Chain A
Amino acid sequence: MRHLLSAADLDRTEIGEILDLAEEMSLVQGRPVKKLPALRGRTVVNLFFEDSTRTRSSFEIAGKWLSADVINISAKGSSVSKGESLRDTVLTVAAMGVDALVIRHHASGAPWQASRWIDAHVLNAGDGTHEHPTQALLDAFTIRRHFRRSVPDLSGFEGKTVAIVGDITHSRVARSNVLLLKTLGAQVILVAPPTLLPAGIDTWPVLVCNDFDQVLPHADIVMMLRVQRERMAGGYFPTPREYTIGYGLTRPRLELMMPGAAICHPGPMNRGLEISADAADAANSLILDQVAAGVSVRMSVLYELLGGAE
């Protein structure tokens, strides 16, 4: 694997390999000494143009447990305002001799552009409102584990339904999950008010519904998306109260879920807005499993990119 830019870069076999390797990596998490020598001597730079606590620290831990040298560079703020072009920033960092660049950027497509300018591996850690492929992989990892509790030899996600609920328009988590879940064979239903569904949604390989209650009884997984603060003021919906009543995973809605169905959220959560405390802390909530999976999956992806014979 040269780069990981999009969830669409991976076919089902490759996803399976990454998730299987992540299972092995997750064993490290339980050990007292959490260190593998796999990437000793390799250098990974987390180049973050946008603040992120959990994604950056999860990549950092993943790299360190694999014995890579990990450096964090924060390039927050618009490169336009700083007077340095994206290309110059990326070339400058690459010129230090790094093996992989993990890029988070507030603008869609930045990792694609970077991958055309440099020789190092590029890993998309979230670009604007476009994609976040490692989030989709860790979600798939978490969901697969959940499904395997009832069907231990499960390979694909055929016959399973995943509802993704919330601001689809501005969600890179939603885009990557749609692509990855379709590759795995799941049915995806997007649930949102029309103002939070992107243009051209009718061309996506998904079902779309504006009525959460109608979808809820059919979903094996209910994935709630964070409502960004700026959307609340942007007039995408009248009030937070109305949003919660229409699209929040409230306590009454928990009753509508089918037995065995589980809850996901990429975090950070707005408790009381898109997800109630009852839902977040429910027995069938996978939210903390997702966080734990983040490290294992990112270890696996870094190993896939850098661990091969080179």
Chain B
Amino acid sequence: MTDLLIRGADLVGRGRSDLLIRNGRFVALGDAGTDVEEFDADGLVALPGLVDLHTHLREPGREDAETVQSGTLAAARGGFTAVLAMANTTPVTDTAEAAEHVAALGRRDGHAQVVPVGAVSKGLDGTELAELGLMARSGTGVRMFSDDGHCVWDARLMRRALEYVRAFDGVVAQHAQDPQLAGGAACCHEGEISGKLGLPGWPAAAEAGMVARDVQIAELTRSRLHICHVSCAETVDVIRWAKQRGINVTAEVAPHHLMLTTSEVLGYDPTFKVNPPLRPDDDVEAVREALADGTIDAVATDHAPHARHDKEHAFAEAAFGMLGLETALAVVIETMINSDLLTWAELAQRMSIMPAHIARLADQGRALDPGEPANAVLVDPTARAVVDRNESASLARNNPWHGRELPDPVVATIWAGRITYRKRNGLQA
């Protein structure tokens, strides 16, 4: 097998160096064989491959919206080498067999590692525990459990789930949405704009209140709790308090909540309908600060592809969600690096090392050292481009970044020693 020699990349915090890859792993320099493909990485930053804690791949069930193949190709183009595939497929990933099926699809079609997330409750209906232990014991070793799309609203079920997964170092990832304060119709941040537009409000208290309850349960059960897509300042305050208290809670923020605000929905374009909803400027500021100071541990895309017709209903009736994998790194660079809120090393923490740690992925989020699995992304820190939704590798087109100029960072993605994406520079790579 050909060796891959990456020349002159900036290894964050360790200066410029070459990287040699053989048989899926980094190896010591100087060992280069005769059959070497060289990759000129002059001026590029090398980061560990990104890990997305929150991806909807839609397969099995909605292959018209996304497949494991198309979704992971989008992931590779975004610099990701692993994605956690949420359980709200058809069928739901609530058994060991369903989890192994998703993992097998990943092995067959994946351009990145596909790690199934198990449902917390059977059929995501929030009443009975799914077979958490069997999923954990299965060949694919599920460690993260989530009813994402639905909140585990029953406090007793949440308590039992948190207690139960402690046996195998699992984590429950909560979609925090009090269904009494923000029901299924809620689709716009409750505030000035929801009142003007006459859209059902989704108040910040519905998220923060649920998180406040859950951190208390996590303290009671001494379990690992993860909060999905934190969207507002109130939730940040609760998580900050819980962490100071020593509660074992981690949290993620989605790229769109780092940049887009409620005013995007003024034209009733369902592209901007997402759950939790886009929030006002103050909340965007708060989640940026929280990501900078580590209160929020990770960026996770909540990549939610939808068939076009599912987004072409009236705003209140259209599907929730937006694409995120291909643009996540660009948005984090724009909002966090270009404003000096994060260093590149911290960005690697938030987008690779911490997510891998939370999901307990042994081969991801590792240092770019000899002996480690060769998962990396090469980043051009200065390139910019206008996002064109029609160039997406995703099958879906619900791309909120369409037409915006953003960083265009990903030059190449390497997963297990293979180049899974390489940017074209006029010529086909």
Contacts and interface: CB of A to CB of B under 8 A. Distances in A.
Interface stretch (A65-73, A83-91, A250-258): A83-91
A198 B196 CA distance: 8
A3 interface: no
Contacts of B196: 175, 200
A9 B146 CA distance: 46
Interface stretch (B114-122, B220-228, B308-316, B348-356): B308-316
Interface string B182-195: 00000000111111
Interface residues of B, number: 23
A101 to B, nearest CB: 14
Contact of B193 (A106, A112, A200): A200
The residue in A79, A170, A172, A200 that gathers the most chain B C-beta atoms within 10 A of its C-beta is A200
Interface string B262-273: 000001110000
A58 B203 CA distance: 38
B42 interface: no
B317 interface: yes
Interface stretch (A123-131, A140-148, A262-270, A285-293): A123-131
Contacts of A108: 197-199, 268, 314-316
Contacts, number: 83
Contacts of A113: 268-269, 314-315
A203 interface: yes
B110 interface: no
Nearest to A179: B196
A172 B199 CA distance: 11
Report the interface size class on chain A.
20 to 34
A112 B267 contact: yes
The residue in A107, A129, A175 that gathers the most chain B C-beta atoms within 10 A of its C-beta is A107
Contact of A128 (B193, B201, B316): B316
Contacts of B315: 107-110, 113
Given A86-B312, A109-B314, A128 B191 contact: no
The residue in B191, B309, B310 that gathers the most chain A C-beta atoms within 10 A of its C-beta is B309
Interface string A201-236: 101100000000000000000000000000000000
A96 interface: no
Given A78-B317, A79-B314, A86-B313, A112 B268 contact: yes
A27 interface: no
The residue in A108, A130, A203 that gathers the most chain B C-beta atoms within 10 A of its C-beta is A108
B358 to A, nearest CB: 34
Given A78-B317, A199-B191, A200-B192, A175 B312 contact: no
Given A109-B268, A200-B191, A203-B192, A130 B317 contact: no
Interface in B153-195: 190-195
Contact of A85 (B198, B199, B312): B312
A198 B193 CA distance: 10
A105 interface: yes
A76 to B, nearest CB: 14
A199 B195 contact: yes
A131 B198 contact: yes
Interface in A96-128: 105-110, 112-113, 127-128
B313 A80 contact: yes
Contact of B309 (A88, A127, A199): A88
B313 A85 contact: yes
A36 to B, nearest CB: 34
Interface in B191-214: 191-199, 201, 203
A108 B193 CA distance: 12
Interface of B: 190-199, 201, 203, 267-269, 309-310, 312-317
Interface of A: 78-80, 85-88, 105-110, 112-113, 127-131, 169-170, 172, 175, 198-201, 203-204
17 contacts: A79-B313, A86-B314, A87-B312, A88-B312, A107-B313, A108-B314, A109-B199, A110-B314, A113-B314, A113-B315, A129-B198, A130-B197, A130-B199, A175-B198, A199-B201, A200-B195, A200-B196
Nearest 6 A/B pairs, CB to CB: A109-B268, A200-B192, A107-B314, A130-B198, A198-B195, A129-B198
